[in-house]
Amino acid sequence: MNVSTPVHMPSLGGATGWLGSEPLGQDDLRGRVVLVDFWTLTCINWLRTAPYIRAWSRAYRDDGLVVIGVHTPEFSFEHDIGLVRRATEEREIDYPVAADNDYAVWSAFANHYWPALYFVDRDGVIRDQHFGEGRYEESERLIQRLLGVERDLVSVQGAGVEAEADWDNLRTPETYLGYARGQRPDLAGEWTIGPESVVLKQAGGSITRRFHARDAHLVLSRGAGETIPFRVLLDGQAPGPSHGVDVHEDGKGVLDDGRMYQLVRQHDAVRERTLEITFLKPGAEAYVFTFG
């Protein structure tokens, strides 16, 4: 989308559902500044932007800003509106979210990225766009200009999975496990390799990944089965204080909902480590490793 010439915000009419609001159309948004945020619940890049979007929504709502999240799923299990609803609750999203399971809104915006921000003025014209993380100060100043306000920027500090990445020590790229995009880590046990994911057929299967980053995450789902306990080892030992938010110090965790799981957050000097995750029941679906 070229925003050097006036481009009006496309319709949201292709949304397959709404959370936190009745469907919003052009008439509902006329005269308001709109920030459209494309996201998907397992995306670590979006998760690290979420505290900023929340803060802007709350800080400028009374000045005329409307934030609209558009949830366009990357993986098939993310079509589950129950999972999207739970993600909005966990992330304390209190602005409207359009479910875009058919990619109709995504296509109307000609969007290609998660996260993606579109800044729309009071006349409904897209004035700017930004893809990925960062550029927070410039984005907030733009919101202020569109609203006609000027004041100190909001103070934002992400915590847990929303914490900013340790960019200086992030040397390992995301790793997709399915054959459609796969660079494959080591698999042990009986796995079925599909286009999106690998699925464990028998208990005791494991995935091993060498990485250099402060944080290690893995997108997991259990399909329609029961919860699945798992164990994480870091260099062959329980992670101790380097456990992620979804793992105890002894390395134990539970796969419940389909989402991104933080397995490791190194508590001391970041160095290259070996992560091994073992699932104690069959049915685990693993999609992508991401790092921070």
User: Which residues neighbour 227 within 8 Å (Cβ) at sequence distance 6 or greater?
Assistant: 254, 255, 256
What digits encode the pLDDT tens for the residues 71-112? 999 999 999 999 999 999 999 999 999 999 999 999 999 999
User: pTM for the complete prediction?
Assistant: 0.94
- Going by C-beta distance under 8 Å and a sequence separation of 6 or more, which residues neighbour residue 206? 187, 188, 189, 276, 277, 278, 279
Task: Name the residue with tokens 């709350």.
Answer: 58
pLDDT digits (tens, 9 = 90+) for 42-52: 999 999 999 99
- For residue 286, what are the contacts with CB-CB under 8 A and spacing of at least 6? 177, 197, 198, 200, 207, 218, 219, 220
Per-residue model confidence as pLDDT tens digits over 3-58: 567 899 999 999 999 999 999 998 999 999 999 999 999 999 999 999 999 999 99
How far apart CA 245 and CA 247 sit, in angstroms, is 6
DSSP state of 8: B
| Residue 222 DSSP one-character state | -
When the pLDDT of each residue in the chain is averaged and rounded to a whole number, the result is: 96
Pairing between β-strand 97-99 and β-strand 65-71 as defined by DSSP bridges: parallel
For the beta sheet containing 97-99, the strands, ordered from the edge strand earlier in sequence to the opposite edge, are 17-19, 97-99, 65-71, 33-39, 116-120, 126-131
- Token digits for 145? 């200009």
- Contact by Cβ (8 Å): 98, 90: no
Q: Is the dihedral of CA 145, 147, 149, 151 positive or negative?
A: negative
For residue 151, the tally of other CB atoms under 10 A from its CB is: 9
Instruction: Sort strands 186-188 and 206-212 into parallel, antiparallel or unpaired.
Output: antiparallel
What are the CA-CA distances from residue 108 to residues 4, 15, 38, 70, 260 (Å)?
18, 11, 12, 12, 28
What letter represents residue 130's amino acid?
H
Output the six-digit token pair for 2.
């070229």
% of the chain residues with pLDDT over 70: 99
Using one digit for the tens of pLDDT, what is the confidence trace for 126-147?
999 999 999 999 999 999 999 9
Contact 171, 155 (CB under 8 A): no
**Residues 117, 129 contacting (CB under 8 angstroms):** yes
At residue 184, the pLDDT reads 73
31-59 in b/e burial notation, b at 16+ Cβ within 10 A? ebbbbbbbbbbbbbbbbbbbbbbbbbbeb
- Tell me the CB-side half-sphere exposure of residue 135, using CA atoms within 13 A: 13
Contact present, 81 and 41 (Cβ < 8 Å): no
Residue with tokens 């992330």: 91
For residue range 174-195, list pLDDT tens digits in order.
Answer: 999 999 987 778 999 999 999 9
pLDDT on residue 2:
47
